[in-house]
Structure 1
């Protein structure tokens, strides 16, 4: 499938509006996330390796907020010979439609079920791997504790959760530095100042980042025995938590 270039915010807008994962975003999503999220390709690839290590026979792997299925595919290609299945969940019909087209062209044989739902409404059961790659940040703050608790409760002992997020920093100087470095990263990838500003205005009340310390505290409170950052670039980080 050809990759369309992200020009959603290339022209002046009267109002940015709220960012939504609609057909316009789904069409350009691979280009958008590659040019916007430093380390995204590495995080997705390593998600596959973590799945290979922790996937248990007869268990379920969850990709919560699967978008176009990049993490699902990364896990799927590493599960050769393992009796598992993957549940890929997203609440955007436009994303899931394109995800299904991509999954259908993949030659690996681990079963994948696509579910159109809010992730907080999905029962986590018999899980050995649960992945939330840049998903929790779009969930209301008031229910994030409950989401992580339900994941912990649905994981088998020895299971793993991968949580990747845009993060903020307690130190305001570090916070501003990492925001500026992220903007420079986007400029280096061809986004204009106007595109960056309009996208920021559209997403600032939709994507609500937290500190790494807040994520670690929430994960520990849910019951996870081990948790730490395994990847970080500027204000984007990925944590691994073990039950």
Structure 2
């Protein structure tokens, strides 16, 4: 399930359409994201470690934009309090369908619920851990503040938000450098220049990256008191925010 090699953009396309998390992408998503996002495995593994530290008894853990459940499974592996419920939310039917099968094969005492819903409207409450791993970047920028506010309001004191994103740099030289280094990373993982160019076109105006400063400002405005970048590699970073 969902472990094919990514060849979505391997052949020349007469027209490059906007990127979609459809069945074709779901089938190769683990390969796609591992070969495209530097440090992805580390972020997923440490998401589980941080969940273990911050998960509170009788609370909810949310993985918003759970795709095939990598973050969700990492947290299930580390959290062993059966009073805690993990909830995965994704608006892609193809992702939720495959994630359901993957979770069913994973033995854990932690009750897990998967929702085919929009993270902006799904019910959020009693949360001690909320994860947004590479999902906020696909939401229109003007709608990100209200979502972060909703998450903060749904969180228990002492709860943690883990936010991982592709980022951009205010300095144009750093922006160019990190973009080029990211492309070299992808070439090193077997992607051709054609694949890199076509995928970049498909994500243009859909994946809207922001600076770390913008993310930190939004989190502070929502009310989070402790905010820190705990991981960064090239133009990808992960932030923790504690309520």
**Taking structure 2 as the reference length, what is the TM-score of the superposition?**
0.99
Aligned-pair Cα RMSD in Å: 0.8
The residue correspondences of 1:11-160 to structure 2 (distance < 5 A) are 11-160=11-160
In the alignment, does 2:10 pair up with 1:10?
A: yes
The 8 Å contact of residues 162 and 239 in structure 2, kept in 1 or not, is answered as yes
- C-alpha distance in 2, partners of 1:218/1:2? 34
**Taking structure 1 as the reference length, what is the TM-score of the superposition?**
0.99
Task: Tell me which residue corresponds to 1:185.
Answer: 185
How far apart are residue 82 of structure 1 and its match? 4.4
Task: Tell me which residue corresponds to 2:218.
Answer: 218
The 8 Å contact of residues 56 and 82 in structure 1, kept in 2 or not, is answered as no
Q: Unaligned regions of 5+ residues in structure 1, if any?
A: none
- C-alpha distance in 2, partners of 1:107/1:226? 34
- C-alpha distance in 2, partners of 1:127/1:56? 8
- C-alpha distance in 2, partners of 1:56/1:117? 25
How far apart are residue 137 of structure 1 and its match? 0.1
- C-alpha distance in 1, partners of 2:176/2:55? 39
Runs (4+) of structure 1 exceeding 4 A deviation are none
- C-alpha distance in 2, partners of 1:187/1:234? 15
Q: Unaligned regions of 5+ residues in structure 2, if any?
A: none
